[in-house]
A and B are shown apart, each in its own frame.
Chain A
């Protein structure tokens, strides 16, 4: 059974940093691209970042470019999101999600990030 479990969320002040982690199991992690998708309270889904299966490439939403960095450790079946220079508008539920050929087929339950002074 595919499992995707996020951690690392919390409350941080504007300008601060946070590192999210995503532990996976039930599939060959190194075979798949992976995503971070966020959802602000009461709002829609926003793709934040995605990374290729072999870590050769990544892409970011314009709203986080230059501030967030996606990475992975295929030996640990884990995905990460380093978030720097956080803003209040970055407050959201952050989902880790598994890619499958141009789509997303599995989602975690999310980890909440609150940016507030």
Chain B
């Protein structure tokens, strides 16, 4: 199975400052159709995960444009341009290019 490795695992951020989360895969996530099936999810305590980004860099409907996804091959990044209080929680990357889909360990974002 593809191993997804996130860093950092804990991310204290000051309100209004940028934040960045890295995700690396043990194999290339470029699928045979040329797409890269890398998604990012956000989970608040007691809630189900919510998808933010799919297919590397596409934002879901209703996701603020301060969230952006980028990367290629095996290295990927989620960036928040200016952290707001509602952004606290755990962020997960997930690959969908190889069966079974696999998740990173999660990065806990907190406000300093």
Contact = CB atoms under 8 A, between A and B. Distances in A.
Interface of A: 35, 37, 44-47, 49-50, 57, 59-62, 95, 99-105, 107-110
A62 B100 CA distance: 10
Interface SS of chain A: strand
Q: Interface of chain B, helix or strand or loop or mixed?
A: loop
Contacts, number: 69
A102 B37 contact: yes
B37 A59 contact: no
**Of residues A45, A103, A107, A108, which shows the largest number of chain B Cβ atoms within 10 Å of its Cβ?**
A103
Residue of A46, A50, A62, A102 with highest tally of chain B CB at under 10 A: A102
Given A103-B37, A103-B51, A105-B54, A61 B100 contact: yes
Contacts of A101: 37, 55, 96
A104 B101 contact: yes
